[in-house]
Structure 1
Amino acid sequence: MECIVHFEVMHGDEPKLLRGLILLGKDERPGEEKFVKMFARMGYNVRLDDAEELIFKPTDPSADYRWLRIRELDSGEEKGSEDRELNSIVANLLPNRNRPI
């Protein structure tokens, strides 16, 4: 299974949005080692600095980037997203307790 990793790299004062690819086995979730290897293949030698925010810092202090941050993982599965139009229609059909019928 393929997993597209959407991440940003802080070069100078402005982040650049990039993507990488990780190949996973069935029901496998990517971890620190997979991310570090993917970044290394792209020329970014990093270590995990903040596991909660998924921020990676360069292992070489003279690197021309300050950090990388994973923003999203896309494994091709449908994401459960809120349908605002449907919610609005349903809200209008349901009785409102604050207004008389």
Structure 2
Amino acid sequence: MKECIVHFKLIRGASSKMLRALIMLPNEKQPEISDFIRAFAQLGYHVVLENERELIFAPATTGETYKLDITSIEVKGETEEAPEHDGELRAILEHLVRRGW
């Protein structure tokens, strides 16, 4: 399995907030639109794809006024050089081992 971190902007009217979602993928699979929709639903945003080229999603229900705009996608473990786990976790574990945890 590999981690896919989706960085996206939640836009409500004139305000916006940067958020992230995590998708776990089999090693041979790339993220698909359905994976993004499922990850957003887990966060409470039930959306449909509005703009495939820009990766912008709109609410699936009428009456909602937000948009989700994917700004970047980070896939960990995609290349041999990229570690499957981030450096922060490794640093924390090394610190605990040195302290005799």
Deviation at 1:12, TM superposition (A): 2.6
| One-letter amino acid of the structure 2 residue matched with residue 71 of structure 1 | T
Alignment of 1:1-101 (within 5 A): 1-63=2-64, 65-76=65-76, 77=78
Q: Percent identity between the aligned chains?
A: 38
Give structure 2 stretches of 5+ with no counterpart: 83-101
Distance 1:10 1:44 in 2: 12
Give 4+ residue runs of structure 1 displaced > 6 Å after superposition: none
Instruction: Give me the CA root mean square deviation.
Output: 1.6
Provide, for residues 50-69 of structure 1, a one-character-per-residue CA deviation record: whole Å limited to 9, x for no partner: 11000000011222x42101
Superposition TM-score, scaled by structure 2 size: 0.71
**Total equivalences in the alignment:** 78
Deviation at 1:27, TM superposition (A): 2.6
Aligned partner of residue 26 in structure 1, secondary structure: coil
Give structure 1 stretches of 5+ with no counterpart: 80-101
| One-letter amino acid of the structure 2 residue matched with residue 50 of structure 1 | N
Q: Which has the higher strand share?
A: 2
| One-letter amino acid of the structure 1 residue matched with residue 29 of structure 2 | E
Provide, for residues 9-63 of structure 1, a one-character-per-residue CA deviation record: whole Å limited to 9, x for no partner: 1123111100000010113111111000000000000000111000000011222
